[in-house]
């Protein structure tokens, strides 16, 4: 379902099956690109002495097939890079709270983390 023309990059984590020197599970970031989302700003700050507001919160509406969860992060707007360890660059947002699951789409509030 097409909700908008925005493309988000979802960052999830998966276990590698390895352990670090402390015995903890090693995880890696997994990046996936999702089209047809609608992203709108919800909060912003305008630090003194700056001429432009900095968006600190977003709302995203995404098709139900997008694996949004409270453990995920979203990069938007995203720019492709040549770094194989971090193939996408841009402002990163954490999912804030539970993801709203509606009949035809899902909704999440995002808080800026970088």
Tens-place pLDDT, residues 77-113: 999 999 988 999 999 999 999 999 999 999 999 999 9
Residue 97: inside a domain, yes or no? yes
Which of left, alpha, beta for 36 (phi over 0: left; psi -120 to 50: alpha)? left
Residue 108: inside a domain, yes or no? yes
Residue 49: inside a domain, yes or no? yes
For 66, 95, 104, the CA distances from 3, given in Å and listed in that order, are 12, 19, 10
Overall domain count for the chain? 1
Q: Taking the model in full, what pTM does it have?
A: 0.86
Residue 12: which pLDDT band, with cuts at 50, 70 and 90?
very high
Residue 38: inside a domain, yes or no? yes
Token pair recorded at residue 101:
């699951």
Query: Minimal CA–CA distance to 76: which of 90, 87, 57?
Result: 90
Query: Residue 104 is part of a domain; what is its CATH number?
Result: 2.40.10.370
Q: Which domain holds residue 77?
A: 6-112
Residue 61: inside a domain, yes or no? yes
The helix/strand/coil state of 2 is coil
Residue 1: inside a domain, yes or no? no
| pLDDT tens profile 66-87 | 999 999 999 999 999 999 889 9
Instruction: State the chain's mean pLDDT as an integer.
Output: 92
């Amino acid at each position: 379902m097409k909700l908008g023309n925005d493309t988000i990059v979802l960052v999830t984590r998966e276990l590698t099956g390895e352990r670090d020197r402390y015995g903890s599970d090693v995880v890696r970031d997994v990046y996936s690109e999702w089209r047809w989302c609608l992203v709108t700003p919800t909060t912003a700050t305008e630090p003194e002495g700056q001429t432009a507001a900095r968006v600190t919160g977003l709302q995203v509406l995404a098709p139900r097939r997008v694996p949004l969860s409270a453990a995920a992060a979203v990069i938007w707007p995203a720019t492709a890079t040549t770094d194989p360890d971090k193939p996408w660059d841009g402002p990163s947002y954490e999912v804030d709270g539970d993801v709203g699951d509606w009949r035809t789409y899902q909704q999440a509030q995002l808080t800026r983390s970088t």
